[in-house]
Amino acid sequence: MEIAEIKEYLPHRYPFLLVDRVLELEPEKRIVAIKNVTINEPFFQGHFPHYPVMPGVLIVEAMAQAAALLSFKSMGSKRDENTVVYLVGIDGARFKRPVVPGDTLILEAEKLMDRRGLVKYAVRAKVGDQLACEAELLCTQRTISKT
């Protein structure tokens, strides 16, 4: 899946769209996607100017965006302006190595549970074969009102 199709499923846009390409997708099961990390990312100006490191919260967000893509593709529906996938829980997040400019972040999400509108994913972010971050994410989809 290329960036144009990703944008059909995710509402995020620059500078907050953190998935560049989907490499593998098995609906209802798993997804493998990538984020190319470049020095041009706006967060590197302040995190940290002397040693640029991708903020952990943005690594978690990138994994959540990959999981959201898996959710939408599994449902066979694209996002609409009244639907949003919320991240409602982060369990066991561990950061194992810094992510720096020039890295290609490999984002993996595996669906663990889908019950009563809540979906749980095991997620990992790797650089090459090195684990950068892992966690379990709990997500839900909601209809929003624009009032």
Q: What is the mean pLDDT of each run of 10 residues along the chain (147 residues)?
A: 95 95 97 97 94 97 96 84 88 98 98 94 98 97 80
DSSP E strands in the chain: the ranges are 21-26, 30-36, 83-95, 104-115, 118-127, 130-143
- The domains located in the chain, with CATH, are 3-143 (3.10.129.10)
| pTM, two decimal places | 0.95
pLDDT at 76: 82
What positions carry a catalytic annotation?
A: 47
d(CA 131, CA 98): 10
Name the nearest CA neighbour of 66 among 112, 113, 10: 10
